[in-house]
Amino acid sequence: MAVREITYREALKEAMREEMLRDETIFLIGEDIADPHGGSYKVTAGLSTEFGLDRVIQTPISEQGFIGTAVGAALMGRRPVAEILYIDFCTMAMDQIVNQAAKIRYMSGGQAKVPLVIRTQGGMGRSSAAQHAQSLEAWFVHTPGLLVAMPSTPYDAKGLLKTAIRLDDPVIFIEHKLLYNTKGPVPEEEYTIPFGVADVKREGRDCTVVATSRTVLMALEAAEALEREGISVEVVDPRTLFPLDVETIVGSVKKTSRLVVVHEAVERCGFGAEVVAQVAEKAYGYVDAPIVRVCAPSVPAPFARQMEDYVMVDAKKIADRVRQLVRGEI
């Protein structure tokens, strides 16, 4: 039987709906998430009509206020799924996220838990400019106590979000604004995806590309183009940045002997630096070429479309770096 195809947006909504039907302690909270608006990217459309405004709670524009409310509710036994419209606006609630949600289990000696999911989205590609197009995942990966997921496909989005909602620790769940309309196979049967398990999206022999979020799709496009030139690329999608499946990444590098790390965030101190460090520590003797990164330069995201295109990662930039690496030109 053919597996149906749905969008990334529909997969996320299905995950929340199924979990809300399963567990009455789950509720959604955020700005404009109820009908008729249903969220700026329509991910929660229809859920307030089905579950009511007690479980899909509209808030004023106050990230600090509603994330604090969600942390308190989680401590009292509820399972909130909060939506911060742009990852850029997480900065308004960093005390609640970094100093409270992430620390409470540790500071209470395990007596208290914060089963909170914060859905947000990041990335460039819509001329959203410097305050609406950042990729800030490294900030959260750096914070002990937080789990971080970045799904690249509808299948991963649904399975990872269902897992995130069931976990007892706070999760930063980062979507990409240009993935909501992408389609992919998603089974109708119940499934979850465990955190800390990477997915090898494409197997190859000559070079490993570790990519996150939307850049996974770019890496696959680059790999297909390079295959026609006789270069075989393995694409590894970590799916969760913390916990990170180091074993799968290192195993792939030991097979191919080359590594390119790709993400949309700026290169300096980005998530890619952690991948490079892990491979340097655990597979140093297996690497036959310099490890390189394909990331954004350290500049704010431009508003002008031509300038945004200039700084953004794309399939051509990935293919160029892999080609240079495999041919010994780096």
**Run means of pLDDT, 10 residues per run, the chain, 330 residues:** 90 98 98 94 97 97 97 98 96 97 97 98 92 95 98 98 98 98 96 98 98 98 98 98 98 98 97 98 96 96 94 97 94
What's the pLDDT at 3?
83
DSSP class of 302: P
d(CA 173, CA 171): 6
What's the pLDDT at 75?
98
d(CA 155, CA 186): 5
What's the pLDDT at 1?
59
What is the DSSP code string of 51-103?
A: H-TTTEEE--S-HHHHHHHHHHHHHTT-EEEEEESSGGGGGGGHIIIIIIITT
The partner residues of 117 in beta bridges, in order of sequence, read 81, 171
Widest CA span in the chain: 60
- As given in the structure block, the two tokens for residue 68 are 């604090």
What's the pLDDT at 330?
83
Tell me which of 63, 83, 137, 264 is the catalytic residue: 63
What's the pLDDT at 267?
97
Tell me which of 19, 31, 132, 176 is the catalytic residue: 132
What is the DSSP code string of 199-259?
A: EEEE--SSEEEEE-TTHHHHHHHHHHHHHTTT--EEEEE-SEEES--HHHHHHHHHHHS-E
d(CA 167, CA 156): 16
What's the pLDDT at 291?
97
- Whether 132 is catalytic is yes
- Whether 63 is catalytic is yes
What's the pLDDT at 210?
98
What's the pLDDT at 271?
97
